[in-house]
Every structure is written in C-alpha cells, then in structure tokens.
C-alpha cells in the first residue's frame, strides 16, 4: 500500500481517486482537514476497503511513525501543505509550520521507518515530495521556461516555505540516503479545486453574479495543467523516476490571467447563458440569478489592487519527464477547462457546501463516535 498525505485536498483527492480507479493497491490518506481539506472529495470511497482515512498532522511524528509501523507502505506521496499564496501573505505562520516544520517531522518519521527496513522493501521504498514551480521565482517575458536546474528564487512566504521543504527532502537523500523523488509542477485546475484559487473562484463568482476580481493588469502568466495529468505524472515518477532526481511537470500552456478569465466567461455564456433562461423572478431555475442587466459574464470582470510581490510569469520546461519517463499530458487547455467548468455546473452541492462550511458538519457527522 501507499501513504498519501493531504489526500483530502484538491490534488491529493484527485490523486487518490485516480489511483484507486487504476490500481488495487490500497491507500492510507493522512490529512489534517484544514479549511482546504474536504472529505466530501473522497465520499465515493466511503465503502471502499482499499481506502483508509486518518485525520492527523504530518508534523505529528508519533502518529506518522505509528501509521508506518502499522501499514508498512512501500511509498509515501507528500501533498500536505498550506497552498494559497494570498493566505501566506496575510498569515505566513501556518505555512512555516506545515510546509517546513511539518515536512521535517514527516521526514524524520519516514527516516526512522525506512532505516528499519531490509532487502527489497528498503531498496524499493520511495518518498515522493510534491512541490511547485513557484520555488524558481518569476520569469521575464522572453526568459526560457524553468528547467530542473533553474536556481531557487522564491518570492512569497508560500514559495519560500515550499523551497525550504524541497531542500530538506534533498538533504535527507544526500545525507541519509532516503530514496526521494521531487516533482515541481505548474498551476493545476480541475474538479474539487477550492474556490479561493483563480479558476474555481471565477466560475463560482460568475454563477452567483458576483464581481470577478482580476489582480493588477491581469497580464501575469501561469502555465496551466489539468489536475488529472499532474496525477498521472506523479504516478509515472513514482514508478519510473530515478531516485534523488527532480522532475518538472507542466502542460506547455502559458496563459495570461485575463485570458483565463475570458475563457471561463465565454464557456459559461455557452453552457449556462445569462440571457433568456435566467430572467429575474422567472422561477424556472434554482441557480442563483445574476443581475439581469449583465449581457455576458465578461461584464462581471473587475480589476482590483495587485497581489504584493506578485510573480509575473511562470513557465515549465517539461522535457525531462517527457523524454526520460515518457509522460505527456492527455488534455489540452481547451478540453481541460471545458471539463472543469462543466464539473462545477454539475456539482452545485459541492460548491455550496464548501462555501457554507457545511462540509465540516459532514465530517463531524461521519467521524463522531468512530474514534
Ligand atoms: P490544497 O490546499 O487543496 O490541499 C492541501 C491538503 O493538505 C488539505 O487537504 C489540507 O487539509 C492538508 N493539510 C494541510 N496541512 C496539513 C498538515 N499539517 N498535515 C496533514 N495534512 C495537511 O492544496 P493542493 O492545491 O491540492 O496542493 C497539494 C500540493 O501540491 C501542495 O504541496 C502544493 O504546494 C502542491 N502544488 C499545488 C499546485 C496547484 O496548482 N494547486 C501546483 C503545484 C504544486
Ligand atoms: O504555480 C503553482 C502554484 O499555483 C501552486 O504552487 C499554488 O499552490 C497554487 O495556489 C497556484 O498559485 P498561484 O498564486 O499561481 O494561483 P492562484 O489561483 O492563487 O492565482 C493564479 C493567478 O491569478 C495569479 O497570478 C493571481 C491571479 N488571481 C488570483 C486570484 C485568487 C487574480 O487575478 N484574482 C484572484 O482573485
């Protein structure tokens, strides 16, 4: 079996769901269930014996050591982190605590476990650390994309904390021989994305007729990858990656933020048009009714003050993973973003639970009395 940390978050839950759809190998998910962790993402696994959910902190060495002893995983995939740049600007402490101190404690527990293994169990063990392209800093317009040897220049408390965790993982390999792999991925999008991040925020705000806040001039560039392609890349690195190596993961999809917002608006115009169907007070639709004077969703776009220290451009050079391991994304941006918008349209219950905080009550309900 494998141990996945942060398995109730956006990428972690997609990873667990895809893993169990493709393998019969069991998964233990360890997640603290912060505001970003949502057991509703894993609800389809409720009666699946191959999945064990444990609520806990990666920084709790005793708990992690106990889980490792009990389940003897052959690999650990570490997604657990505080992940939102804006939150790291308003309050960096949780980022230092989980992303740096938490990763350190996790590594210590794993080192203790791995040292006690022998033979093939020890040789084949892997610790895969999931990281981000943000550790490389910001690119100018014509700079080449980030390769694995690009120097680290993190600019936000979030990226600095992820950079520190990458260095710890590297050090545990070089010093103790722990068989680690590190992946640095670009911006993900897709199902179960918490609506504090650009794409899901734009979708849910647009559907509610609320302003679509674009930071600064909206010309910052991100390199977008459909989350299931990221999950496939991680499976590929876990299976075939060379121990101690770093693999950059990206979809060759550089887009300016404003173009992303336009695309989301245009897809909503097509899939859930404002005109005709949504007359105020028609009573024919249970979705929130935007103000009837908005002709298209684009008219909701509002430019707002920029993010402090905002990185201008990220771009991933994904040639290493493509050439060495044979991974390629299955989705284009056009197919992936259509699936994503459709997923949010099809899952209004998930959206409103996440927004209302009702999913926390669901957790209480599901876990009370089970301890
Ligand atoms: P997320 O915020 O949606 O999920 C993080 C999960 O980790 C949540 O379920 C949360 O409850 C859990 N968690 C937080 N602190 C914990 C702790 N101390 N112990 C145990 N669990 C804890 O994040 P995400 O977007 O799914 O990102 C997952 C990982 O991928 C992160 O490490 C992030 O840095 C990295 N990453 C994200 C992106 C992206 O675009 N979202 C891109 C590249 C890399
Ligand atoms: O590059 C990988 C990283 O991508 C991950 O490591 C992070 O965990 C993930 O959150 C993401 O970071 P970003 O800061 O790029 O993502 P976010 O969705 O917050 O913002 C994307 C861009 O959109 C960024 O330039 C800021 C801008 N933005 C964001 C929000 C939330 C807006 O213009 N308006 C907004 O309301």
Instruction: Over range 178-196, report the average pLDDT.
Output: 97
Compute the average pLDDT of residues 24-36.
96
Residue 59 CA, ligand 1 centroid: distance in Å: 14
Spatial contact of 69 and 113, defined as CB atoms under 8 Å apart: yes
User: Which atom from ligand 1 is nearest to the alpha carbon of 158?
Assistant: 34
Quick one: which ligand is closest to 312's CA?
2
Q: How do residues 107-150 score in pLDDT, each as one tens digit?
A: 999 999 999 999 999 999 999 999 999 999 999 999 999 999 99
Q: What is the mean pLDDT of the chain?
A: 92
Best mutation site among 197, 221, 262, 316 for ligand 2 pocket (most ligand atoms within 8 Å of CB)? 197
Ligand closest to 133 (CA) is: 2
Q: How far apart are CA 298 and CA 208, in angstroms?
A: 13
Residue 357 has pLDDT above 90, yes or no: no
* Per-residue pLDDT at 281: 39
pLDDT band at 368 (very low <50, low <70, confident <90, very high): low
Distance 85 CA to ligand 2 centre (A): 7
- Say if CB 190 and CB 228 are below 8 A apart: yes
Residue 134 is a catalytic residue: yes
What are the pocket residues of ligand 2 if the criterion is a CB atom closer than 6 Å to any ligand atom?
83-85, 132-134, 186-187, 197-198, 201, 213-215, 220, 222, 257, 307, 314
Q: Is 83 in the pocket of ligand 1 (CB under 6 A)?
A: yes
Asked which of 15-29, 143-157, 241-255, 277-291 is least confident by mean pLDDT, the reply is 277-291
Which of 56-65, 156-165, 231-240, 298-307 shows the lowest mean pLDDT across its residues? 298-307
Question: Going from the N-terminus, what domains does the chain have, and what CATH number goes with each?
Answer: 2-193+224-252+309-330 (3.40.50.720)
**Which range (107-111, 161-165, 354-358) has the least confidence?**
354-358
Q: Find the mean pLDDT for residues 303-329.
A: 97
Catalytic one of 40, 134, 223, 311? 134
Catalytic residue among 133, 223, 229, 331: 133
The predicted pLDDT at position 295 comes to: 80
pLDDT at 355 > cutoff 90: no
**Known catalytic residue: 158?**
yes
pLDDT greater at residue 293 or residue 282 = 293
Q: Are 32 and 10 in contact (CB under 8 A)?
A: no
pLDDT band at 276 (very low <50, low <70, confident <90, very high): very low
Per-residue confidence at 294, pLDDT binned at 50, 70, 90? low
Contact 65, 286 (CB under 8 A): no
- Six-digit token pair at 347? 């899952």
Give the mean pLDDT of 19-24: 95
Q: What is the pLDDT of residue 371?
A: 46
Lowest-pLDDT range, 171-185, 202-216, 311-325?
A: 202-216
Confidence category of residue 279, pLDDT binned at 50, 70, 90:
very low
Active-site residue, 22 included: no
Do 363 and 33 meet the contact criterion of CB atoms below 8 Å apart?
yes
- pLDDT at residue 356, as a whole number: 75
Q: Are 341 and 268 in contact (CB under 8 A)?
A: yes
């Amino acid at each position: 079996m494998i141990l996945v940390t942060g398995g109730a978050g956006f990428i972690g839950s997609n990873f667990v769901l895809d893993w169990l759809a493709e393998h019969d190998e069991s998964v233990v998910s360890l997640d603290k269930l912060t505001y970003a962790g949502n057991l509703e993402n894993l609800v389809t696994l409720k009666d699946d014996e191959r999945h064990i959910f444990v609520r806990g902190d990666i920084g709790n060495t005793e708990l992690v050591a106990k889980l490792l002893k009990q389940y003897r995983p052959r690999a650990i995939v570490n997604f657990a982190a505080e992940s939102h740049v804006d939150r790291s600007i308003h309050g960096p402490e949780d980022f230092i605590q989980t992303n740096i101190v938490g990763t350190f404690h996790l590594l210590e527990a794993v080192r203790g476990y791995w040292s006690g293994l022998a033979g093939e169990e020890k040789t084949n063990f892997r610790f895969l650390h999931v990281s981000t392209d943000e550790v490389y800093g910001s690119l100018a317009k014509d700079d080449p994309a980030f390769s694995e040897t690009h120097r680290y220049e993190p600019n936000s408390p979030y990226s600095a904390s992820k950079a520190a965790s990458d260095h710890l993982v590297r050090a545990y390999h070089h010093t103790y021989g722990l068989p680690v792999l590190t992946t640095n991925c670009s911006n993900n999008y897709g199902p179960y994305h918490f609506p504090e991040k650009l794409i899901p925020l734009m979708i849910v705000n647009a559907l509610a007729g609320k302003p679509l806040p674009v930071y600064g001039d909206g010309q910052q560039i991100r390199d977008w990858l459909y989350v299931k392609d990221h999950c496939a890349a991680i499976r590929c690195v876990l299976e075939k990656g060379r121990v101690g190596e770093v693999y950059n993961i990206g979809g060759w999809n550089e887009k300016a933020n404003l173009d992303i917002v336009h695309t989301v608006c245009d897809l909503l115009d097509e899939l859930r048009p404002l005109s005709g169907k949504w007359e105020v007070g028609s009573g024919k639709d249970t979705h929130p009714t935007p103000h009837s004077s908005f002709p298209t969703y684009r008219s909701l776009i509002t430019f707002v003050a920029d993010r402090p220290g905002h990185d201008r451009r990220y771009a991933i050079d994904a040639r290493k993973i493509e050439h060495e391991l044979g991974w390629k994304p299955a989705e284009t941006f056009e197919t992936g973003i259509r699936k994503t918008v459709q997923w949010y349209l099809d899952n209004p219950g998930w959206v409103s639970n996440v927004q209302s905080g009702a999913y926390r009550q669901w957790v209480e309900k599901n876990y009370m009395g089970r301890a």
